[in-house]
Amino acid sequence: MRAHSRISILFLVLVAIALTAGSPGGVQRIVAIGDVHGDLGATRSALRLAGAIDEHDQWIGGDLIVVQTGDQLDRGDEEQAILDLFEVLRIQAQAAGGAFIPMLGNHEIMNAKADLRYVTEGGFADFADAVEYDPDDPALAEFEPDQRGRMAALLPGAPYALRFSERVLILQLGDNVFVHGGVLPEHIDYGIDRINAETQAWLRGETERPEIIKGKNSPQWTRLYSDEPGAEACETLGKVLAALGAKRIMVGHTIAEGGIASHCDGRIWCIDVGMSAHYGGPVEVLEIRGDDVRVLRP
User: CA–CA separation, 208 vs 168, rounded Å?
Assistant: 17
Which pLDDT does position 20 carry in this prediction? Answer: 46
CATH number (3.40.50.300, 3.60.21.10, 3.50.50.60, 3.90.930.12) of 9-106+167-296 reads: 3.60.21.10
Please give the average per-residue pLDDT across 282-288, as a whole number.
98
Enumerate residues 6+ apart whose C-beta is below 8 A from 205.
155, 156, 157, 158, 161
User: CA–CA separation, 288 vs 124, rounded Å?
Assistant: 36
pLDDT tens digit string along 210-263?
A: 999 999 999 999 999 999 999 999 999 999 999 999 999 999 999 999 999 999
pLDDT tens digit string along 97-156?
A: 999 999 999 999 999 999 999 999 999 999 999 999 998 999 999 999 999 999 999 999
Residues annotated catalytic, as ranges: 107
What is the separation of C-alpha 111 from the centre of its chain, rounded to a whole number of angstroms? 14
Instruction: Specify the pTM.
Output: 0.93
Q: Write down the domain spans for the chain.
A: 9-106+167-296
Query: Considering the chain, what percentage of its residues have pLDDT values greater than 90?
Result: 91
Q: What does each C-alpha distance from 270 to 49, 180, 255, 256, 277 come to in angstroms?
A: 18, 10, 8, 6, 19
Please give the average per-residue pLDDT across 14-41, as a whole number.
76
User: CA–CA separation, 135 vs 289, rounded Å?
Assistant: 49
Which pLDDT does position 19 carry in this prediction? Answer: 55
User: CA–CA separation, 68 vs 123, rounded Å?
Assistant: 20
User: CA–CA separation, 179 vs 223, rounded Å?
Assistant: 11
Which pLDDT does position 25 carry in this prediction? Answer: 56
β 285-289/29-33 pair status:
antiparallel
